[in-house]
């Protein structure tokens, strides 16, 4: 326990009143000691406090014995405890090195010891731009340039770039037409256009640098991060994920209600190079025959299908027109039209592209 005592006062007594002096002395000394105790900065604690002076923080781990305190006593007890703890903290702070800053005594705080969570994650280093990479490769250093440049024509200091810059060639009031140029060419417009092109190129490069920095890439196969994915996209993503295994999805189990994929298998089939020579010969001869003949080749099924599609389209258009007018008859006409269509056209093959209309009572 440390107790500080300042230099005691020295009492001079007259030699005549010896007894009185000694009593006075004793009393004075006792008073002094009491006063000292009151003003002491020492605090007695079982366990030392833990200090984090960088944060002006102190933690007291001592047991708080007094329980079931009433209101008034509790406040006083808390106050006394706070006073003791604060005294210890202040003692610690006063041990720090001080300096004088503008007539004020200031104590330099050490590093904080309590680790507290950050507000945001630490910043990621930005990838260098194209120019920065090149400069590093070549060893080009950045040269510090002056802000203002002397402009001869305006006879004043102007900024190097930006609004009202020095030596702006688009602002020339007189441009000499060079000998090699076309006399009818507008030189002013030419300069303006060149500037616009430079600006656009710069902007493009800037955006490219940003895109490279943020690594915004579209995935080749798979889901683009969108709010709503459509059913086909999800199905595609599932099938891609399934086939991305070492055995290309052959041994992947399917979910209970999952249907087998529709368009799997080879997309195009080629005949083997050295196979059946006879069939190859036949194929080639037939091909030559068709190419040599003058009559056009007609595929009956294809023609019929085209015809049927045309009819359906016309009917749908007519239905829409009728539907806009009166909705009652829509059902009847649709049923009738559709029922008749395929049966009616079954036998109408022949004759290249002629359109035949067999619809009763629609004109």
Q: Which residues bind other proteins (CB under 8 A)?
A: 4-6, 36, 39-41, 54-64, 67, 74-75, 78-79, 81-83, 85-87, 89-91, 93-94, 98-99, 101, 104-109, 112, 114-123, 207, 210-211, 214, 216
| Smallest separation (angstroms) from other proteins to the CB of 226 | 12
- Enter the DSSP assignment of 96: S
Q: Which is nearer to other proteins, 225 or 347 (CB)?
A: 225
Q: Which is nearer to other proteins, 83 or 281 (CB)?
A: 83
| Smallest separation (angstroms) from other proteins to the CB of 64 | 6
Contact 188, 175 (CB under 8 A): yes
Q: Which is nearer to other proteins, 175 or 210 (CB)?
A: 210
Q: Which is nearer to other proteins, 87 or 239 (CB)?
A: 87
| Smallest separation (angstroms) from other proteins to the CB of 182 | 38
- Enter the DSSP assignment of 54: G
Contact 155, 166 (CB under 8 A): no
Q: Which is nearer to other proteins, 81 or 240 (CB)?
A: 81
| Smallest separation (angstroms) from other proteins to the CB of 91 | 5
Q: Pull the structure tokens for residue 276.
A: 């059946």
98-101/50-52 β-pairing: unpaired
| Smallest separation (angstroms) from other proteins to the CB of 160 | 16
Q: Which is nearer to other proteins, 211 or 349 (CB)?
A: 211
Q: Pull the structure tokens for residue 233.
A: 């996209």
Phi and psi for 316 in degrees, rounded to 5? -65, -40
The Cα 80–Cα 85 span in angstroms is 9
Q: Which is nearer to other proteins, 50 or 310 (CB)?
A: 50
- The CB-side HSE value for 286 (13 A sphere, CA atoms) comes to 7
| Smallest separation (angstroms) from other proteins to the CB of 119 | 4
- The CB-side HSE value for 225 (13 A sphere, CA atoms) comes to 3
> Cα dist. 36→2, 5, 12, 351 in Å?
13, 7, 22, 128
Cβ of 315: how many Cβ atoms within 10 Å? 19
Coil, strand, or helix at residue 271?
coil
| Smallest separation (angstroms) from other proteins to the CB of 152 | 29
């Amino acid at each position: 326990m440390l107790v500080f005592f300042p230099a005691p006062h020295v009492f001079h007594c007259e030699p005549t009143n010896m007894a009185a002096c000694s009593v006075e002395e004793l009393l004075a000394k006792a008073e002094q000691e009491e006063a000292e105790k009151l003003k002491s900065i020492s605090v007695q604690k079982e366990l030392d406090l833990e200090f984090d002076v960088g944060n002006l923080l102190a933690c007291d781990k001592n047991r708080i014995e007094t329980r079931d305190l009433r209101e008034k006593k509790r406040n006083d007890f808390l106050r006394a405890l706070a006073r003791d703890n604060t005294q210890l903290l202040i003692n610690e702070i006063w041990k720090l090195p001080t300096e004088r800053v503008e007539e004020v005594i200031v104590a330099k705080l050490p590093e904080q010891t309590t680790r507290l969570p950050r507000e945001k994650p630490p910043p990621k280093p930005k990838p260098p731009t194209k120019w920065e990479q090149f400069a590093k490769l070549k060893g080009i250093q950045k040269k510090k340039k002056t802000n203002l440049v002397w402009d001869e024509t305006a006879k004043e200091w102007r900024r190097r770039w930006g609004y009202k810059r020095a030596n702006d060639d688009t602002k020339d009031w007189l441009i000499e037409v060079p000998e090699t140029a076309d006399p009818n060419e507008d030189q002013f417009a030419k300069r303006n256009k060149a500037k616009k092109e430079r600006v656009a190129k710069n902007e493009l490069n800037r955006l490219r640098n940003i895109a490279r920095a943020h690594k915004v890439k579209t995935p080749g196969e798979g889901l683009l991060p969108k709010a709503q994915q459509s059913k086909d996209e999800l199905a595609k993503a599932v099938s891609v994920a399934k086939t991305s295994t070492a055995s290309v999805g052959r041994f992947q189990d399917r979910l209970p209600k999952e249907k087998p994929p529709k368009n799997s298998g080879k997309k195009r089939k080629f005949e083997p190079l050295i196979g059946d020579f006879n069939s190859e010969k036949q194929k080639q001869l037939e091909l030559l025959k068709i190419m040599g003949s003058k009559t056009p080749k007609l595929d009956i099924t294809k023609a019929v299908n085209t015809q049927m599609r045309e009819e359906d389209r016309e009917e749908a258009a007519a239905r829409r027109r009728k539907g806009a007018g009166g909705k009652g008859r829509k059902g009847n006409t649709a049923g009738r039209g559709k029922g008749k269509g395929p049966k009616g056209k079954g036998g109408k093959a022949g004759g290249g592209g002629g359109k035949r209309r067999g619809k009763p009572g629609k004109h």
